[in-house]
Structure 1
Amino acid sequence: MNLIKKAICLLLFVCAIINTAGAQQHYEWKEAASGGYTYKYVSNDPMKARFYTLKNGLTVILSVNKKDPRIQTLIGTRAGSNNDPADHTGLAHYLEHLLFKGTRQFGSLDWAKEKPYLDQIENLYDTYNHTTDAVARKAVYHQIDSVSGLAARYAIANEYDKMMTGMGAQGTNAHTWVEETIYEEDIPSNAVDKFLTVQAERFKDPVFRLFHTELEAVYEEKNRGLDNDSRKSYELMLSSLFPTHNYGQQSTIGTVEHLKNPSLKAIREFYDTYYVPDNMAIVMAGDFDPDYVIKQIDQRFAYMKSKPVKEYKSPVEAPVTAPIVKEVYGPDAENVMIAFRMPGALDVKSTILLNVLTEILSNGKAGLIDLNLNKQQKVLNAGASTMTWKDYTVFSLSGKAKQGQTLEQVKDLLLGQLEILKKGEFDETLVKAIVNNAKLAELMGLEKNDNRANAIMDGFIKHRGQNWNTDVSFVDDMGKVTKKQIVDFANKYLGNNYVLLYKRKGEDKNIEKVEKPAITPVEVNREAQSAFLQKVNEIPATPVSPLWLDFDKDIQKGKIGDADVLYVQNKDNSLFRLYYRFDMGSWNNKLLPLAAQYLQFLGTDKYTSEQISKEFYNIACNFSVNPGTDVTTISISGLQENFDKALALFEHVLKNCQPNGDAWAAMKGRMEKGRADSKLNKGNIMKGLTNYAIYGAKNPFNNQLSQAELNGVTAAQLTDILHSLPDYKHTVIYYGPQPLNAAIAAVKKEHVIPATFKETPAALKFEKTDQAKNEVLFTDYDMVQTEVNWVRNNGVYNPENTALIDLFNSYFGGGMGSIVFQTIRESKALAYSTYAYLASPDKKTSRYTTLAYVGSQADKMADAIGGMNELLNDIPRSDKLFETSRQSLKQDMATERITQDGIIFTYLAAKKLGLDTDYRKIVYDKIDKITFDNVKEFHDQNMSQKPYTYCIMASEKRVNPEDLKKYGDVRKLTLEEIFGY
């Protein structure tokens, strides 16, 4: 379960709505009735969202989208860490986890026998919470552990996940943030009745079972945060910016002290206070009949009783009168952040102005920071963003230093862009371009149910949906903003009233960890099923017929000279996407990624680099050159009405870009700093370790230029690569509204195909290694946790095994209901995150790889490794879980719709595997024939009692390297060996 949904709310007002017509429209609240229910809606809302308020106060918001036979569902409550009691921070997040544990009706073998133990556990935690003596606390915890083991005999772990998986749900998750807790499911359209039956029961009377093992999962989540420099910076920024408001004074996951002293009684009180219909909403976006759905919701949730909610009343923060300077230390790369406290979401006018202001500074192409800092390579990178909450908004500038540059210099450059904006030294026409690009982004986002549902739910959290009309008109209102308004707003709010946060490299001497408690593994009762689960399974559901691709019918083909053209028509809207796809990448030419990156800094004989960015932004079109290892894809996208302009401009840029020695020198310097920063990032280090285990000392990850090679590259070499790129064999792909012949004619007008393609350079080959014996690859990193990856390479790709592998992965280690997750996390409380699966190759000549992962506290490393090894050697049998995994896979395939240009890329992926049909149909037909014995045999042949390479990243201060020898021969890899430079 996600702790914080950091990115989703940056532009949530903007991402809600589009105005597809050229003229501005009226957005007014209106009322209508259908199916016996009255609802409100906003005129000209392209989501056509219906807002219902049931008799008990429950809000229901429905948006129909018939694109796919699936529905994105969100059930949210307007309560998060803001509402935590001051002496029990992290409580809302604890509760989020516990709402996956079931009720009296499900999750229990025998509620009558389980309840006395749960009551005893609740009282013991209350005692524990009020006990301060260390010895006495240990004794109480021992009692908790003992009684929890007895209670767990009657618990059915993950029964909620089993029910959701069984009905074909995807993306089962939840998150808690400052003003919200939201529960997420993506369900098939035929599962509405099953879904509502489960959710109505889930929120009716939740039982807080398996609490002490779930606590340990939260401890692990906290420790992961303590290892995350970005998280530490985020929390310090908030606490400095909000010295009295709960935004800054109560972190979502809670303090270490409060995590150690949980109270089930306080959690129950929180639930009773905030999980009431007046404070909750059900949002559904997708393929359904709204008249039927609202009736079913009303019937199932009628038990909820209206109850007024006392909202958090925020203190008014005193103005910041001078910069507040803070520092954070940690092993990751350095950066600087400048954060301002701004008016909140309820101040609609300020929100609109701030959004436009942010885009003027940083929109990825033509903003002041984009052009003056990033394009001119004055910093490693920089940007601006907003984080909008009800009471206040956080506006921030951030940047990383390039080689030889201080963070103080980056800070001055960022503030310099603010001064330019405050003086009005920007082109007012940029506002129009911002609006056009917002419309383009929204047009693309409107197709997806999750975008719709998240935008609607965000409106409910911030203003109960009452300002949906202003959300709908937001982009139009952006277009009314004047330059004077922006300048006045900037001068009013953006002075010396900021928090300046330096993230510096160094040891964090204040770091603490949540210590490992003594936990005895508990029963998970895999084979058990409650009567409620059986009842849900028996609810009728009209089968959804799968829809397979027919490549010969679904893709039209043509030619431009010797280049193949693949075409799918866009019949939904006016967007186009054009691709040139080359069968070569960095394995064919190590300079290709450099050339692609260099292009953004180059001008031509007609345009400067800055002018090119502005031109593309003004016509709301995008281009990119993306080299992979064996495929390079050029993409151009936007509105069809600007297709000719975008294509002509891109072709001109590619053919006529001119070498710029100064730009290349600056880019090399930034690359040196970026490469050094990459070696500080634990995610990159683990990726490199894993590649080393899969391929050996020379692998795709460290296939990098040495410093000497990089220094030897010239600007002319890179522009030569760009100029000659169209001379190599490639496929032209078009998805858009134009007919095939018209599209071909339009491309031919600008895109020249040579009479004969150049010969593609030979590619490097990276062969996967054989694990002949156990080995440990270790690297030291200053962290609280230990991360372990298991790696073993298996046989060559065989399409006949696809169905078996898919079912094995789903059953064994692919999700929260899997054997691995149940055992490692639910039963043994050894990790927050864990998985194990067989990774399939993307080429017919490549091999499979077994990958497993556990991230745990350092003092639990031995237990975590032992627990995973037991599963890798012996796969437990659960016939019911196996059947659930089977039905889930079938539902996923039956309700999956591959559309748009996804059809073409599915075809190309199939070709790489040597297939000429949509292989999902064969997999679908085979799944019913696969038995558990087949899966066990596969597991025994590929995983059991086999040698593995253990990739272990940990702090030598917390893990004794001598202990690692238990698992195999130990090699401590240097960062140079891992990264190749």
Structure 2
Amino acid sequence: MFKTKDEAGRAKIYKEIDEANGRASAFAVPNEFDRFYRSIGAEGLNAFTSDEQTVYVVSVPANRLEAWAEVESERFKNPVFRLFQTEIETVYEEKNRSMDNAERILNDEVENRLYKKHPYGQQPTLGSVEHLKNPSLAKMYAFYDRWYAPNNMAIALSGDFDRAKTLELIKKNFETWTPHPLPALPKWELPKPKGHETYEVKYEAEQKVALAWPTVAHSHPDADALEVMDMIVDNSAAGILNLRLNQAQKVKASGSYPSMRNDAGSWHAWALPKKGQTPEEAESLLLEAIEALKAGDFSAEDVAAVITNFELNEKARIESNEARVGMMTASFISVEPWERTTGRLDRMRKITKADVVRVANQYLSSDRITVYRRDAKPEIPKISKPAFTHIAIDPSRESAFMKEVLAIPA
């Protein structure tokens, strides 16, 4: 399929996939994985993928961890990718929605221009239109063989469970999964903007301007100071943009956010022009506010206040299992020592006004990306979903394996 660009050829292969999936449905039990988790009282079953991670999540009752370990180890050690077409249809629909979304169109253009030679900007998570027209089951298996290995995986658990018994369960179920060497990651080029680069996108919606500057990767010593800098600019209440632009009603709305990943980082500011205002005029107001930041037009007390607020929110947030698991996952994906992850608040408490002014002047230079979203009709490609045959699902069917794991005592 992935080698075929002829539409008739694609249709023939889709028909073959459809027929094969129909035959497979006689052996597979559709939706059994979901039904298993519902049967043991689990919640929040989901998965997501992003630039540097693929994450599988579920909340499981502590007394059903044995069944969880049995099923998850089997899933990752010996996956069988049946019902391929249903996932193709889902991804097609997600891609179509993303290409018809005002914010996604703008943000994708910013990333594309900011990371001209890096997958952050050149390889969207959902894939390109051409990629999705040519799905390959063989390439999916090759990806699994390359990256799905126990030495490239972490299990993050948080909750009220017996630690020693749970570790023994994990060892028992996962230790037969054989590790293998991982491919070396490429070193991508990260050319910076040459002066002020401007671009446009079109969408029939309110106009918007987005600015972006390259900064640093999450592991850089300046990452924490840049985080505090962002909170000085926009904390939804008393930041420089909140007071000077939003409350003063100089624009309809404005804000900022940092983005720091494994290989690189960036800082973003945006504004919605008010009626009668152009995106360029809103951009000028953003730049005036940023110049005030660089000039240190805020107090040391402001810095202390945003750090204290951050600390209060962070301590409240990590009261949840989801947040604690998220911290562990981020530490693993970022290849960051756990001590550094948990030491973040201590480091932030030491950040001063001078640190904020320094990073603002160092990183927010005239070398930046600006993308204007114009209120105009765009040309949006559409991916037509293949005409796959509906597969009937019999909820009363159960595989022998499901019966076996459901019989494990709670």
How would you bin the TM-score normalised by the shorter chain?
over 0.9
Q: Distance in 1 between matches of 2:266 and 2:41?
A: 39
Question: What amino acid is aligned across from residue 329 of structure 2 in structure 1?
Answer: M
Q: Distance in 2 between matches of 1:227 and 1:287?
A: 43
Q: Is the 8 A contact 1:382 1:398 kept in 2?
A: yes
Percent identity over the alignment?
36
Where does residue 3 of structure 2 map in the other structure? 130
Q: Are 2:356 and 1:483 equivalent residues in the alignment?
A: no
Q: Are 2:260 and 1:391 equivalent residues in the alignment?
A: no
Q: What SS does the aligned partner of 1:339 have?
A: strand
Where does residue 78 of structure 2 map in the other structure? 205
Question: CA separation of 1:197/1:372 partners in 2, compared to 1, >3 Å: closer, same or farther?
Answer: same
Q: Are 2:178 and 1:299 equivalent residues in the alignment?
A: no
Where does residue 244 of structure 2 map in the other structure? 372
1:322 CA displacement: 1.2
Where does residue 516 of structure 1 map in the other structure? 385
Q: Distance in 1 between matches of 2:174 and 2:69?
A: 9
Q: Is the 8 A contact 2:5 2:134 kept in 1?
A: no
Q: What SS does the aligned partner of 1:282 have?
A: coil
Q: Distance in 2 between matches of 1:414 and 1:314?
A: 34
Question: What amino acid is aligned across from residue 390 of structure 2 in structure 1?
Answer: P
Q: Is the 8 A contact 2:327 2:341 kept in 1?
A: no
Question: What amino acid is aligned across from residue 256 of structure 2 in structure 1?
Answer: A
**Normalized against structure 1, the TM-score is what?**
0.41
Q: Distance in 2 between matches of 1:502 and 1:281?
A: 41
Where does residue 363 of structure 2 map in the other structure? 493
1:320 CA displacement: 1.5
Q: Distance in 2 between matches of 1:334 and 1:344?
A: 30
Show CA shifts across 1:238-259 (max 9, x none): 1100000111110000011110
Where does residue 363 of structure 1 map in the other structure? 235
Q: What SS does the aligned partner of 1:202 have?
A: helix
1:525 CA displacement: 3.3
Where does residue 192 of structure 1 map in the other structure? 65
Q: Distance in 2 between matches of 1:343 and 1:152?
A: 49
Match 1:251 to one of 124, 128, 131 = 124
Superposed structure 1 runs of 4+ greater than 4 Å apart? none
Q: Are 2:223 and 1:351 equivalent residues in the alignment?
A: yes
Q: Is the 8 A contact 2:251 2:273 kept in 1?
A: yes
- Map of 1:396-435 to 2, 5 A cutoff? 396-435=268-307
Q: Distance in 2 between matches of 1:513 and 1:295?
A: 50
Question: CA separation of 1:159/1:484 partners in 2, compared to 1, >3 Å: closer, same or farther?
Answer: same
Match 2:100 to one of 222, 227, 242 = 227
Q: Distance in 1 between matches of 2:331 and 2:148?
A: 18
Q: What SS does the aligned partner of 1:253 have?
A: coil
Q: Is the 8 A contact 1:330 1:506 kept in 2?
A: yes
Q: Distance in 2 between matches of 1:383 and 1:514?
A: 33
Q: What SS does the aligned partner of 1:518 have?
A: coil
1:482 CA displacement: 2.4
- Map of 1:50-89 to 2, 5 A cutoff? none
Q: What SS does the aligned partner of 2:389 have?
A: coil
Q: Are 2:141 and 1:272 equivalent residues in the alignment?
A: no
- The root-mean-square deviation of aligned C-alpha atoms, in Å, is 1.4
Q: Is the 8 A contact 1:245 1:314 kept in 2?
A: no
Where does residue 159 of structure 2 map in the other structure? 286
Higher strand share: 1
Match 2:396 to one of 527, 530, 533 = 527
Question: What amino acid is aligned across from residue 462 of structure 1 in structure 2?
Answer: S
Match 2:30 to one of 157, 162, 165 = 157
Question: CA separation of 1:221/1:293 partners in 2, compared to 1, >3 Å: closer, same or farther?
Answer: same
1:363 CA displacement: 1.0
Q: What SS does the aligned partner of 1:283 have?
A: coil
Q: Is the 8 A contact 1:155 1:524 kept in 2?
A: no
- Map of 1:821-900 to 2, 5 A cutoff? none
Show CA shifts across 1:364-420 (max 9, x none): 122111111112121111111012211111210011111221111111111111111
Q: Distance in 2 between matches of 1:398 and 1:404?
A: 18
Larger radius of gyration, structure 1 or 2?
1
1:351 CA displacement: 0.7
Where does residue 87 of structure 2 map in the other structure? 214
Q: Is the 8 A contact 2:70 2:405 kept in 1?
A: yes
> Could you list the runs of 5+ residues in structure 2 that have no partner in the other structure?
none
Larger CA deviation: 525-534 vs 134-143: 134-143
Question: What amino acid is aligned across from residue 535 of structure 1 in structure 2?
Answer: E
Q: What SS does the aligned partner of 1:318 have?
A: coil
Q: Are 2:368 and 1:505 equivalent residues in the alignment?
A: no
Q: Are 2:204 and 1:331 equivalent residues in the alignment?
A: yes
Show CA shifts across 1:32-89 (max 9, x none): xxxxxxxxxxxxxxxxxxxxxxxxxxxxxxxxxxxxxxxxxxxxxxxxxxxxxxxxxx
**Normalized against structure 2, the TM-score is what?**
0.96
Greater relative CO, 1 or 2 (CA 8 Å, sep 6+): 2
Q: What SS does the aligned partner of 1:332 have?
A: coil
- Map of 1:543-582 to 2, 5 A cutoff? none
Question: What amino acid is aligned across from residue 537 of structure 1 in structure 2?
Answer: L
Show CA shifts across 1:688-710 (max 9, x none): xxxxxxxxxxxxxxxxxxxxxxx
Question: What amino acid is aligned across from residue 329 of structure 1 in structure 2?
Answer: K
Q: Is the 8 A contact 1:155 1:525 kept in 2?
A: no
Count of aligned positions: 410
Q: What SS does the aligned partner of 2:154 have?
A: strand
Where does residue 453 of structure 1 map in the other structure? 325
Show CA shifts across 1:859-913 (max 9, x none): xxxxxxxxxxxxxxxxxxxxxxxxxxxxxxxxxxxxxxxxxxxxxxxxxxxxxxx
Question: What amino acid is aligned across from residue 105 of structure 2 in structure 1?
Answer: K
Q: Is the 8 A contact 1:239 1:249 kept in 2?
A: yes
Where does residue 214 of structure 2 map in the other structure? 341
Q: Distance in 2 between matches of 1:153 and 1:255?
A: 33
Q: Is the 8 A contact 1:200 1:301 kept in 2?
A: yes
Q: Is the 8 A contact 1:153 1:523 kept in 2?
A: no
1:311 CA displacement: 4.3
Question: What amino acid is aligned across from residue 19 of structure 2 in structure 1?
Answer: S
Q: What SS does the aligned partner of 1:363 have?
A: coil
Where does residue 342 of structure 2 map in the other structure? 472
Show CA shifts across 1:936-970 (max 9, x none): xxxxxxxxxxxxxxxxxxxxxxxxxxxxxxxxxxx
Question: CA separation of 1:400/1:540 partners in 2, compared to 1, >3 Å: closer, same or farther?
Answer: same
Q: What SS does the aligned partner of 2:339 have?
A: helix
Where does residue 312 of structure 1 map in the other structure? 185
Q: Is the 8 A contact 2:2 2:131 kept in 1?
A: no
Q: Distance in 1 between matches of 2:147 and 2:361?
A: 40
Where does residue 406 of structure 2 map in the other structure? 537
Q: Distance in 2 between matches of 1:438 and 1:140?
A: 53
Question: CA separation of 1:323/1:296 partners in 2, compared to 1, >3 Å: closer, same or farther?
Answer: same
Where does residue 21 of structure 2 map in the other structure? 148
Q: Distance in 2 between matches of 1:133 and 1:378?
A: 53
1:316 CA displacement: 3.1
Q: Distance in 1 between matches of 2:403 and 2:351?
A: 57
Where does residue 774 of structure 1 map in the other structure? none
Q: Distance in 2 between matches of 1:143 and 1:196?
A: 35
Q: What SS does the aligned partner of 2:348 have?
A: helix
Q: Distance in 2 between matches of 1:456 and 1:310?
A: 24
1:508 CA displacement: 0.6
Q: Is the 8 A contact 2:114 2:192 kept in 1?
A: no
Larger CA deviation: 190-199 vs 172-181: 190-199
- Map of 1:725-874 to 2, 5 A cutoff? none
Q: Is the 8 A contact 1:153 1:525 kept in 2?
A: no
Q: Distance in 2 between matches of 1:200 and 1:250?
A: 30
Q: Distance in 2 between matches of 1:231 and 1:240?
A: 14
Q: Distance in 1 between matches of 2:314 and 2:246?
A: 26
Q: What SS does the aligned partner of 1:404 have?
A: coil
Q: Distance in 2 between matches of 1:447 and 1:217?
A: 34
